[in-house]
């Protein structure tokens, strides 16, 4: 495999040799890009939750700071949601932790399928998720999360020969901009 790769690189270098000052430059350039690709992959992996594939808490907090600053600067609506899988400990106790992992993966998948591409959803910890809705009021986010709640309640999660149903509870708040004052979060009933 390494010999084949070396031969391919050699033939590529010979084909472009009039345009490249030296063969070393091609090798150095390819090593540089390989290193950059690996670096990007590692960074991407460090920002994702390995179980659900959602953003992790660290990435969410970084993105949230930027979104809050943007919303406050341009007086744009911004809503924040928290989600918690109800009685998740009972799922782990009754069906096992692997079944609990499958429940987390399926709920995360439902979030990804249901929410907009601009919405940010992350696993915050355990069975808790946090959601950020740029350009959405608290009422809009509450309606979206109510739809997600119904979809989750209607979804039957299969694990082996077992059928598991869970419900999810949500809380929503929106960023309120007051003239001359600092923006603050207000809970949406």
Active site residue 127: yes
Going by the DSSP 8-state scheme, the letter that residue 48 receives in this structure is: B
SS (HEC) of 65-81: HHHHHHHHHHCCCEEEE
Q: How many CA atoms lie within 13 A of 178 on its CB side?
A: 7
Using an 8 Å Cβ cutoff, are 115 and 170 in contact?
A: no
Q: Which of 127, 156, 174, 177 is catalytic?
A: 127
Question: What is the spatial order of strands in the sheet that 128-134 belongs to?
Answer: 120-125, 128-134, 78-85, 168-176, 184-188
Active site positions, annotated: 127
């Amino acid at each position: 495999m390494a010999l084949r790769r070396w031969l391919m690189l050699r033939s590529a270098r010979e084909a472009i040799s009039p345009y490249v000052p030296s063969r070393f430059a091609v090798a150095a350039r390819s090593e540089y890009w390989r290193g950059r690709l690996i670096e990007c992959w590692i960074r991407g992996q460090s920002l994702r939750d390995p179980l659900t594939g959602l953003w992790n808490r660290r990435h969410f907090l970084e993105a949230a700071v930027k979104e809050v600053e943007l919303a406050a600067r341009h007086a744009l609506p911004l809503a924040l949601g928290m989600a918690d899988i109800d009685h998740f400990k009972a799922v782990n106790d009754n069906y096992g932790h692997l079944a609990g992992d499958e429940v987390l993966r399926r709920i995360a998948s439902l979030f990804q399928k249901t929410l907009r591409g601009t919405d940010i959803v992350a696993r915050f910890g355990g069975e808790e998720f946090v959601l950020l809705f740029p350009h959405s009021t608290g009422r809009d986010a509450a309606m979206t999360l109510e739809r997600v709640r119904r979809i989750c309640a209607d979804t039957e999660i299969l694990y082996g020969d077992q059928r598991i149903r869970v419900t999810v509870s949500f809380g929503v708040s929106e960023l309120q901009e007051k003239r001359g004052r600092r923006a603050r979060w207000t809970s949406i009933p």
